[in-house]
Chain A
Amino acid sequence: EIVLTQSPATLSLSPGERATLSCRASQSVSSYLAWYQQKPGQAPRLLIYDASNRATGIPARFSGSGSGTDFTLTISSLEPEDFAVYYCQQRSNWPLITFGQGTRLEIK
């Protein structure tokens, strides 16, 4: 099973700052990686698919990069609505899908 490790567990930043979230895979997942945002009481929302492609309706301040084992989700300038939990997900060894444990982005 491919394990995804997200860091940091919690990230404390202020609105307007840049956020950098990391997802590391235990073995190469090529570019088969997605990022989600989840707010309390809501379903996850797809942000990025195939490592670097923004999903429909996702603002340009969200970007994804990386390939192989190291991936990054960057939020260029935090808006108040961006404070949430973020998950990465891989499907490299389809049909087995795994998620990372999440990074909580909180207001400083």
Chain B
Amino acid sequence: EVQLVESGGGLVQPGGSLRLSCAASGFTFSSYDMHWVRQATGKGLEWVSAIGTAGDTYYPGSVKGRFTISRENAKNSLYLQMNSLRAGDTAVYYCARGLYGTGMDVWGQGTTVTVSS
């Protein structure tokens, strides 16, 4: 079964750091682009980062310089290192598999990050 399972969420103070993990199974992880997408409570979806099969990384302006996406193909794992966290980063964070076309076709169940003092 194709599956993504996120972990690492929790409560962190403003300015703190957190590292999210996403364990992939059931497919050839190294062959796919991977993404992180977040959703604040009651709000829409926001793309947070992507990593290509060659390790190339991409971010929107809202997290660039604070978040770092990485992958470890030998462990079928995706990571998101989040530094200098702000209240506005509070959300459910999903990892998702990138389709070769436009779209993300496999999603994890999400992990919740709360930034609060």
Chain A residues engaging chain B, CB cutoff 8 angstroms: 31-34, 36, 38, 43-46, 48-51, 53, 55-56, 87, 89-91, 95-102
Contacts and interface: CB of A to CB of B under 8 A. Distances in A.
Given A43-B110, A95-B50, A101 B103 contact: no
A89 B47 CA distance: 10
B28 interface: no
A33 B109 contact: no
Contacts of A55: 103, 105
A89 B44 contact: no
Contacts of A53: 101
A32 B108 CA distance: 23
The 3 closest A-B pairs by CB, nearest first: A95-B58, A49-B103, A34-B103
B47 A50 contact: no
Given A99-B44, A99-B45, A43 B103 contact: no
Q: Is the interface of B mostly helix, strand, loop or mixed?
A: strand
Contacts of A100: 44
Contact of A46 (B45, B50, B104, B110): B104
Given A34-B99, A49-B102, A89-B103, 20 more contacts: A44-B37, A44-B45, A44-B104, A44-B107, A46-B103, A46-B104, A49-B99, A49-B101, A49-B105, A50-B102, A50-B103, A55-B105, A89-B102, A89-B104, A95-B50, A97-B47, A98-B47, A99-B44, A99-B46, A102-B44
